[in-house]
Amino acid sequence: MGNHSVWSSLIILLSVFLCFFSTRSATVENYDYPYLWDQVPGSIEDLPVKDDQIIMDPWDYRDRLSMYKLMINHSAKYFTQFGINNTGNVFWALATFYGKLYVTGRCDNPSNDLVNNSPEKENFVLTKSGWSGISYYVAIPFFLSALKLNFFGPLPYQIELLPQEERRSDFCYSFDECNASYPQMMAIDLKIFEYLQSREKTSNNAENPTYNTDMETIIHYTWSGHQAGVDVGKPLFYDKSQFYSAGEKDFAESFLTTIEFLEAANYPSDFKNASDILLGFPHRRLTTGDWLIPGWDFDKYEKVLLTAVKLISGINSISGGAFLNIWKTIMMSETARKDAPVLIKIMFDFPEFIPLDIN
């Protein structure tokens, strides 16, 4: 209890400090769709058919992106009241993050040279990369769960995922295969689609019907599925895969810890809010030195994100995980959750908050 109030005070102090500074900051408007978004299929009819089968390769950047696009497009009707052009869709955070991982060279062959991010094979996401292994378990189980529940409607042909020989046993390529190894994860990933399918129309406007989607609930299901995937993927790939440098590996671990703070706060995973958080995601892999002092080529947002991630995961690690646990307890209160996005956004958005010389 005593411990609890110390942490509560610390968090309140931090909030006051950040809110004070937020008044003198400008907003940032810089939102991008994931790389190649407009070029990948977003509806079942647009998927290429071969020999009466639709084959998707989860190791092709475009096919994995297309899985996200199918989920985003086919769930659009449940999010009409949360933003124009489907920007309120909760899957955006996962799709934009995946795009970021790819364009920043983090799904690439780890032995490639660091500064020149040219992919080894155009549009391929490699099993050797730790990031792409973890991100596999975020994207694919959601997609397989949607298929399992016929979320995309009746399919003209069966959809199969193309297995890759390399590290075959570390990945699962069908719902049943994944469910045999990770039933808990699959049960969590099914929830979001079951929830959406159970929604009812609240308006019969023929053009734009709305459904009784509860944003808090749906964001919670998104983050639970994300975390379930990370919990499966991290032990499989964190030590056995390459992260290019010790600095990048530490960053990956710390970043994933920081995301847990966002998840506990039920941070909105819609297009705009996700883009805000990812604004400072480092544009290239880190060297070991970058984790200590970010290189000259990182801009102020990247430096802020790195500092925030280091600070949050550092305090958590020094406290033996108590920081996250207390945060989770505090975030059980609806009022705290309401304030949290603003707090988190400020921490990530505005470099002048960090009392360090970062420029």
Query: Which residues make up the interface to ligand NAG (CB under 6 A)?
Result: 33, 37-38, 42-43, 73, 82, 85, 88, 179, 183, 186, 215, 268, 270, 272-273, 341-342, 345
Output DSSP code: residue 40: S
Q: What angle do the packed helices 92-103 and 130-148 form, to 10 degrees? A: 150
Nearer to ligand NAG, 45 or 200 (CB): 45
CB 144, min distance to ligand NAG, A: 10
Q: Which is nearer to ligand NAG, 152 or 243 (CB)?
A: 152
Name which of 354, 307, 285, 333 is nearest 108 in CA terms. 285
Query: C-alpha distances in angstroms, 148 versus 51, 133, 189, 218, 304?
Result: 22, 22, 11, 19, 41
CB-CB contact of 130 with 238 (8 Å): yes
Report the nearest approach of ligand NAG to the CB of residue 72 (Å): 7
CB of 29 to ligand NAG, least distance (A): 13
Closest approach, Cβ 42 to ligand NAG, in A, equals 2
Buried b (16+ CB within 10 A) or exposed e, 11-35: beeebeebeeebeeeeeeeeeeebb
Q: How many CB atoms lie within 10 A of CB 98?
A: 25
The alpha carbon of 100 is separated from its chain's Cα centroid by a whole number of angstroms, namely 10
CB of residue 49 to ligand NAG, shortest distance in Å: 16
Where in 51-113 does DSSP place strands (E)?
Answer: 53-56
Q: What pairs with residue 160 in β-bridges? A: 55
- Residue pair 265/85 in contact (Cβ under 8 Å)? The answer is no
Sequence-distant contacts of 113-121: CB under 8 A, at least 24 apart: 114/244, 114/245, 114/284, 114/285, 114/287, 115/284, 117/284, 117/285
**CB count in 10 Å sphere of residue 132:** 26
Query: Quick one: 126 or 344, whose CB is closer to ligand NAG?
Result: 344
Pick 172 or 306: Cβ nearer ligand NAG: 172
Q: Smallest distance, Å, CB 263 to ligand NAG?
A: 15
**Closer of 281 and 298 to ligand NAG (Cβ):** 281
73/316 with CB nearer ligand NAG: 73
Residues 232-245, buried b or exposed e (16+ Cβ, 10 A)? bbbebbbeebbbbb
Nearest to ligand NAG by Cβ — which residue?
A: 42
Which C-beta is closer to ligand NAG: that of 55 or that of 215?
Answer: 215
| Alpha-carbon gap, residue 151 to 155, rounded angstroms | 10
Closer CB to ligand NAG, residue 179 or residue 245? 179
Nearest distance in Å: CB 5, ligand NAG: 28
Smallest separation, CB 54 to ligand NAG (Å):
15
